[in-house]
Amino acid sequence: MSGYHIHVQDLTMRFGERPLFNAPALDFKQGDVIYLEGDNGTGKTTLMKVLAGLVKPSSGTVTAANRQRSFSQPNPLLGYALYLHQHPYLFDGDVSYNLKLAQRYSKLPKAEQLQRLDAAIELSQLGHLLKSGAANLSGGERQRLALARTWLLKPQLLMLDEPISNMDRVSQQLVFAMIGELKKQGTGLLLSSHQDSALFGLCQQRWLIESQQIRVSEIRQPLAAGE
Ligand X SMILES: Nc1ncnc2c1ncn2[C@@H]1O[C@H](COP(=O)(O)OP(=O)(O)OP(=O)(O)O)[C@@H](O)[C@H]1O
**Candidate list 5, 8, 34, 44; residue touching ligand X; CB under 6 A:** 44
**Candidate list 42, 98, 143, 171; residue touching ligand X; CB under 6 A:** 42
Using CB under 6 A as the binding rule, whether residue 156 contacts ligand X is answered as no
Give 45 or 103: the residue with its C-beta nearer to ligand X. Answer: 45
d(CA 139, CA 44): 21
Residues of this chain, 73-102, that bind ligand X according to CB under 6 A: none
**Candidate list 6, 8, 38, 51; residue touching ligand X; CB under 6 A:** 38
Using CB under 6 A as the binding rule, whether residue 43 contacts ligand X is answered as yes
What is the b/e burial string over 62-84, where b = at least 16 CB atoms within 10 angstroms of the residue's CB?
bebeebeeeeeeeebbeebbebb
Q: State the amino acid at position 71 in one-letter form.
A: F
151 close to 115: Cβ distance less than 8 angstroms? no
d(CA 77, CA 100): 25
Question: What is the total count of residues that contact ligand X (CB under 6 A)?
Answer: 11
Residues of this chain, 3-22, that bind ligand X according to CB under 6 A: 15, 20
d(CA 33, CA 30): 9
**Candidate list 101, 194, 212, 219; residue touching ligand X; CB under 6 A:** 194
Note the residues at the interface with ligand X (CB under 6 A). Answer: 15, 20, 38, 40-46, 194
